[in-house]
Amino acid sequence: MRRFFRVLLRIAIIAALVLAIGVLIFKLATRLEEPTVENRFDSKVRKRSLGEDFYVFEDSWLKKNREGLWEMYLSGDAFEMGYKNGLLTDSLNALQELYFIETIREIIPSDRYLNFLKHFLAWYNRSLDRYIPAEYREEIYGVSRFASDDFKVIGDGYARALNYHAAHDIGHALQNMNLVACTAFMVNDSLSEDGSMIIGRNMDFSMGDDFASNKIVVFQRPDKGHNFAYISWAGMIGVVSGMNDQGLVVTLNAAKSNIPLSAKTPVSILARQVLQYASNIDEAYAIIEAAEVFVAESFLIGSAHDGKTVVIEKSIDQCAVYDSNSDQLILTNHYQSEELGGHKLNLEAIEDGSSPYRLQRTKQLIERQAKHNYESVAAILRDRRGMDDADIGMGNEKAVNQFIAHHSVIFKPEKGEMWVSANPYQLGSYLCYNLNDIFAEDFDFSGVVDDTTQTIAADPFLLSDDYRAFVSHKEWTARFKKLLWDESPEAIKAEDIELYERLNPEFFYSYFIIGECWSLKGDSERALTYYEKALGKEIARLSERRMIEGRIESLKEKAR
């Protein structure tokens, strides 16, 4: 018996040693080394307040304008810009991180799965820093000096900041989570009122309304490369929508990806590199073609120097250019080039998704008007209807306006102008920023930064009963989804379901949620009725249609 216990003890000791070594190897393999930089700043430096929501540090500043948009100007080398950014946005950064984590918890309510995900992503991103250029690691490191200590359980400030720059790519690659369903288009020459290029873009990034509430219009004057502006959020130095002082525009639209073995260059970092160092389409292509990425992405590139817009399509192992060779170009979420358009994953995305429908609806809206200006482009970006103006429900992914946009932006590259939407979504006013003025040496930042003579008024829809109903519908959807996850049938009331149905009656997803509620409550007959009602509406994705059909078939089988 003693011998048995000695053997058992040895096995336990060996197992403990193996586990300890495994943990050590994991920690060493997943450690992201902080860059070595020369920090000229005193640790006791503070930003100065020049008024409510107006902060200055050296020559850089952050302020909130009359429409609630934050505006920030940064200059210097990489670390200096990051440090100034982190100092100016410290409280916003903490808030943004909180919103991000809360949204992840809503998407993944399981603590066990979240813990697994945390360790999986640490391993998955173990080589991330090798694929991010040194100057951007230094800039991220500068921002991270002011990271909140409230989230240390996730990782140290630098590791968190670096990993957040790959969050879009990871969600896209691992689950094709449908968090991103953007629309962009260009009109030029014969379709433009003044003959110049106009680009419109909705950045539909579904991380919640709180996450989008503190968007920042950033103006950067780096010590290397071009001056540039982009729409971002605190802590983010990557670019998803922006323009530089050469009149080069970059926006990102996701395409369907394979699941890669590890993280590589985040596409927002690649777009940032293009914005900072490219002045025309050829230079943009060279930068994008040379990079190693881990998701499929379309880079819309508008160039004042070239007088045209193209899409550079980038897969994990290929790069191609799509040129419409016309005065209009439309980009949603699938490839259109000869080289990549016929790929299996792309064809699957076209068959399943809302992307072709949105493209055709955008085309229909463009062709309704002979010539366009920035106001007509805004009207297209705000359109919430389906083909031929069909009511497909508010929030349908097939609409150009899905009511999830982090931001909406309009560019006139040849004039250095960009219009950025104020909250909510693309319904608030669009404010016009002239990069030629803002980057002038004598620009006075103490006053109004935007060009007030070219403001696009807020959408009147904001004041409508339909919009109020949509807001209520969104709140009820979140409430019902939580009750369904918690499996709390007793908390789901018939009168609440009746109210919910009236709020957004043409939206298929409303009826799916109601079907789920009745199914949880054990009323198969009512559940079946609502699943069938959902099938009668305009469903965004083929996979969603098949899921609903599966629910119907399952209920019918049980009834036999």
Domain spans, the chain: 466-559
CA distance 416 to 437: 9
Is the pLDDT reported for residue 87 higher than 90?
A: yes
Q: What is the mean pLDDT of residues 71-99?
A: 96
pTM of this structure? 0.91
pLDDT in tens, 492-521: 999 999 999 999 999 999 999 999 999 999
How does residue 118 score in pLDDT terms, banded at 50, 70 and 90?
confident
Edge to edge, what strands does the sheet with 183-187 contain?
328-331, 183-187, 198-204, 405-412, 417-421, 430-434
Looking at residues 404-420, what average pLDDT do you find?
97
What mean pLDDT is predicted for residues 103-121?
74
Burial 331-365 (b: 16+ CB within 10 A, else e): bbbbbbbeebeebebbeebbebbbbebbbebbebb
Average pLDDT over residues 153-161: 88
pLDDT for res 6? 52
The pair of structure tokens assigned to 31 is 């450690």
Cis peptide before 460 (omega within 30 of 0): no
Tell me the average pLDDT across 105-123.
74
Residues 6+ apart with CB under 8 A from 217: 69, 70, 71, 72, 229, 230, 231, 420, 433
- Indicate the Cα dihedral angle 150, 156, 158, 164, nearest 10°: -70
More confident residue, 175 or 54: 54
pLDDT for position 498: 97
| Nearest-angstrom CA–CA distance, 383 and 485 | 33
**Residues with Cβ within 8 Å of residue 225, at least 6 apart in sequence:** 276, 277
Phi, psi for residue 521 in degrees, rounded to 5: -80, -5
Which pLDDT score, from 0 to 100, does residue 172 have? 62
Q: What is the mean pLDDT of the chain?
A: 90
Q: Average of pLDDT values for 370-377?
A: 98
Q: Please state, for a pLDDT cut of 90, what percent of the chain lies above it.
A: 75
Fold type of domain 466-559: 1.25.40
